[in-house]
Structure formats: structure tokens, C-alpha cells
Chains A and B, each alone.
Chain A
């Protein structure tokens, strides 16, 4: 059983960090605003947390803008918050948003504002790693929306044909922007969209241990040269696509998903198995809350970037940003 090999304190800490972080984002946004418009992952934290847990430190993560867990588990919290505020200490000193940040140091593939645009680059990163002859695996997260784009098929096909070390994780949170997924695709399982001869697995995205197990298997498969796997994690987003666009939700459905809340489910299970105590949980929670609060305090008092930060467009050529090449 996979749960016997998991360090549950660590995994719970990852899950609680993501939950508390997202709660704080919402609280601050509603109270006094944050420059980066929140696209909350509340309700679906177990997908990213569970998928990241079994990976090696140098495996590459390609998160979607909503895979907050992947960002948090690789990047210092204060840097993420500064990224959301566009201040000097952010990941690129305010040039980009935290949603799309990339970092070779932290093993995070940068992405763009186009949903699913990072699927082929993630496959390419796996190709690059094959060329460099290392055994890094790339795990790419994307939502149900991205599975409706042509990118999805071209990336899956390329990865399969080239047998590249990629794990595709669909975070199927049932909502594409403000549209319910059942209006947009005619299959019950998005895994059925895949084809391409690609192995697929449907995972309970509310169950962090199930995510650990499925991703561990897929990553092993990739690392041993057997090619990519697609995981469809069934989950649910509690919040709207973005905080500025309130969505109509059926209350009964929302409550049914909240009954299977990933954080509460895991805590209940650990308590039941005597793998943690209430006091331990409380202590973890307090520590996390302090870290998160401090990071927000720092960002709110951080300086805005120097204007020179803007002029960072070409690595190899010095240019005059109005004229062309500086001579």
C-alpha cells in the first residue's frame, strides 16, 4: 500500500500550505486587492500536491496558472507573493505575473496566458532532457479547458511517437471558465479524448494518496523509458474561474464535492489511522500561517521594480529599445 511509504506529516504539510495560501490570497484580495487577479485552486489542491510528492527534486514541473501547489512546493513563498504583487523581489522582478513564472533554478517551466500553450513546450523539455541524456521527468498540469484545444492532441501525439518522459495531468475541475464541462465535450471522462496509443488512468483528485500513487507509477514508467502517461484527476474548483467573474453553481453539487474536501478527507484518514494527532496538525497549521502571513507582509512593503528591469528582451544582443541594435 502506497500510504505505508508516504511521510504523512510532510504530505499534509504540503496540502495545508496550499490550502492556507489560497485562503489567504482570497482574504487579502477581498479586503484590499492584489495586483494579480486570483484564479483560485481551492478545492483541487490534492491534485498538484499529490502529483508533486513522489517526484525527484530535479524533475521538471509545468504547472497551469491554477496549479498553485506546484509553484508553492518549489518556490519560496515570499517570492511567489512578491510575484503576485509585481514587486522587486518577485520571480522576474515584476516583469511577469506569478501565474506564468518560469525558473530553471526551481525546475518550473514558464508558461503564457494562452490556456494549454505549455503542453508542447513541456513535451519539448522532455525532448531536451533526452538530448542532454539525463533522467529528468516532466510533469505537465492543465485543466479541462486545455483538453479541448488542438495543442492537447499534437502534444500527446508527439510525446507518444517519440516515447518521451512526460506525465500529463488533467486537472478536471468540471468548469472551463464559467462553462460547465458537460456542455463542452461529449465524453464522461476526458481521458477518453486522448487516444494516440497513450496509457491513461482516471484518478480521484480529491484523494491525495491516490494522486501520489498514480503519479509515482507514471513517473517510473517515464523514467524507465516507456514513454508518457495521461492521468485524469477528477476534482472540483470551489471558486469561480477568476475572482472577478462570479459563476452560478448548483448548491447541492458544490456541497457534495465539499463533503469530499481533499484536506478534510486526508486529515480524517490520518486521524483514523493514528498517523497524526490533532495537536500536531494544529502546530503545523500555525507555522504555515506565520510563514504565509510574513510573506504577504513582506510583499506589501516591497519596492516596485526599477524601470530598467523592463529592458531585458535579448540575452545575446544589446539593443536600444526604440531603434534596434545599439552601436
Chain B
């Protein structure tokens, strides 16, 4: 289901940073059960200034700094959500999520299953990923595959400012636990954001660009790389369709299958290592349900199976880009 903007929708150009700040502001204002906390989110306004001004506006009972203990962030969010609040916690870098992993994987994901009375865990964990800034091994990993194998969690990776805002509001209102992944290299990207209040529901894939020759399923920051690759390919006469799942798990496969049935070519694009990754699941789903529509083997674009390196040239070699997507599409079509 496409959620493209209508031509009549009034919009303002905003950065992802601004759209996230606005989403948090609106939800804190709308619902007194919403809380925002984490390391440096209050007085400092968040390491990347996403929560700037919110502590001043909503006070220290709604927006506060916490001890440097991700296990407390994950654990208290589960408890607060079970008690009926709507906590949004920031676990600074996604690389730190495993510290709270017990609470995310064994607690948050399983309490709706565990309780007998429809109690669920409406919490949101915001966390950053993204390579290309020389932050090295532990400040940029793309962790979606770590969590997509956990039933009970929802994993969200938005791409554009409009979606960052709509999906964060959607995640806060969702009754299930959500890991909301923000690409720290893209906070400055700008785009049209509706002036009117809106939310975007989780678990709905979106078609970002229509095309007839190849399907690119790209997630998070890779949507921008896919769009760039598609422009270049268009100049060569190849029209790509880009599907942006937005919610990684549970995955809305419908639009992916429909697109492949039309284009007969599938390329996936992610920042994480290709092996055991999101693209592999997409490939498997397509092979299960649309195998006879495929004209060529599926191509998966992603990182090699190594940690994120530090040196500039190594990082460049590691990081998947529009070039890789472009080559993958051409390879698939020429097969």
C-alpha cells in the first residue's frame, strides 16, 4: 500500500532531526502517559540534538537523564509500559542495544505472550546506526537482523523525514514493543513533512519509486542510495521500482511480491552484513512465493561479513553505496 503524499497536502521542508523532535513534542503534549528518557536526552538535548528543548518544555518527570546503564533503560521501559505508561527511551547507539538485550529479547518481546489478560508492552526504544563517520567498530552497526528473529518485537527503520515523524508517532501509539532505528548519517536529510497532524501505521511497506524493470527492496539509509542508483539507471533506460518496507519485522511482504511479479528482478539493499541479514529473508520470501516470476538470481547488496573498520579506505570498502546497487541491478538484468 503506497502512502505517497497527495498533491494538495500542505507541507514544510524539514530535516529528519526536526521531524523527530516534532514527533516527540507532539506525543508528549498529546498523551500524559508518554515519557522520554535516556543518557543525555534531557539537559543536553540528545547527543544529536533530537530531543532539544523537550526537557525545558515538559519538565523532569516527563523528560529526564538517566544513569549510564542500558540495562536500566531497557528494563525500566518494560516495567513502565506494563504498568500503563508509554515510555520512549533512547539507547544512544544501536551497538549498545545488546546491553539491554535481555530486556528487549526475553522481556519486552514476550510479555504479551506471557500475560493472560491482554496486557502488552507499549514501549519504544530509539537507537542510532549508520556508517561513514569514522566511528569504528562500536558506534554504527545496523542491528535489524539481530532483532528480526525475535517474535514479539517490532523493528522500524524509516527513511525520509515524513516517515521518521509519522512512524515515530505510530510507534509510540502502537501497543507492542518497538525498536526504532535512526540513521545518524541522515539526520540532516530534508524533505516535505505535512503540516497537518498525521501518523503512519507500522508494518506497512511503501513503494518509494515506481518502475517496471527491476525491484530494489531497500531499508533505512539505503533508500537514499537506492533512489540515487535508480536515477542513474533511468538515464541508462532501466526503470527501477523501490520498495521501502519501513517496518523490518513483522514484514509486510505484499508490496515486495507484487513488485517482483511486475519487474521479475529483485535486488535488496541494507547496511548490515549480507550474510544472515534482512535481504536474505526477503530473498527467501520471494523464492517461496514468487519464484517463477524471477528472471534472474536475487542480488543482495550489503556489507561484508566483517566488523565496521576504522581506517578511511577500509570503511569505504566496507560501506555499501548507490554504486553497488547500480551494479547489482545491471548484473541481474544482464544475467
Contacts and interface: CB of A to CB of B under 8 A. Distances in A.
B24 to A, nearest CB: 16
B111 A102 contact: yes
A325 B205 CA distance: 10
Contacts, number: 184
B75 A128 contact: no
Contacts of A123: 72, 75-76, 79
B115 A103 contact: yes
B112 A121 contact: no
Interface stretch (B38-46, B224-232, B244-252): B244-252
Contacts of B116: 90-93, 95, 101, 103
A150 interface: yes
A124 to B, nearest CB: 3
Interface stretch (A12-20, A48-56, A104-112, A211-219): A104-112
A317 B78 contact: no
A220 interface: no
A33 to B, nearest CB: 24
B17 interface: no
B322 to A, nearest CB: 27
Given A95-B114, A117-B102, A124-B79, A104 B61 contact: no
A103 B254 contact: no
A122 B85 CA distance: 13
B175 A124 contact: no
Nearest to A158: B72
Interface in A97-154: 100-105, 109-110, 112-114, 117, 119-132, 150-151, 154
Interface string B59-71: 0011010110101
B252 A327 contact: yes
Nearest to B247: A325
A313 B151 contact: yes
Nearest to B174: A316
Residue with the greatest number of chain B CB neighbours at <10 A, chosen from A93, A117, A124, A325: A124
A248 interface: no
Interface stretch (B2-10, B117-125, B212-220): B117-125
A176 interface: no
A263 interface: no
B85 A131 contact: yes
Residue with the greatest number of chain A CB neighbours at <10 A, chosen from B64, B82, B176, B202: B82
Nearest to A129: B83
Contacts of A96: 113-114
A128 B71 contact: no
Interface in B83-110: 83-85, 87, 102-103, 106-107, 110
A154 B80 contact: no
Interface residues of B, number: 56
Contacts of B203: 317, 319, 325
B176 A124 contact: no
Given A127-B85, A316-B175, A120 B285 contact: no
B250 A125 contact: no
A128 B115 CA distance: 18
Interface in A158-173: 158, 161-162
Contacts of A273: none
A78 B280 CA distance: 47
B79 A122 contact: yes
B81 interface: yes
A57 B117 CA distance: 18
Given A128-B87, A323-B253, A117 B151 contact: no
A325 B155 CA distance: 13
Contacts of A102: 82, 111, 114-115, 119
A158 B66 CA distance: 7
Interface string B242-273: 00000001111110000000000000000000
Contacts of B152: 313-314
A319 B153 CA distance: 13
B113 A312 contact: yes
B253 A158 contact: no
B35 interface: yes
B252 A131 contact: no
A119 B81 CA distance: 15
Contact of B106 (A101, A117, A124, A316): A117
29 contacts: A60-B83, A92-B115, A101-B114, A102-B111, A104-B82, A114-B106, A117-B106, A120-B72, A121-B75, A121-B82, A121-B103, A124-B75, A124-B76, A124-B79, A124-B87, A125-B83, A127-B35, A128-B82, A129-B83, A132-B85, A154-B67, A155-B72, A157-B72, A158-B76, A313-B113, A317-B202, A324-B250, A324-B252, A324-B285
Interface of A: 60, 90-93, 95-96, 100-105, 109-110, 112-114, 117, 119-132, 150-151, 154-155, 157-158, 161-162, 312-317, 319, 321, 323-325, 327
Given A102-B82, A125-B79, A157-B72, 20 more contacts: A101-B116, A103-B117, A103-B119, A109-B79, A123-B79, A124-B78, A124-B79, A124-B82, A127-B79, A129-B83, A130-B61, A131-B32, A158-B67, A314-B152, A314-B154, A315-B112, A315-B176, A323-B285, A324-B250, A325-B253
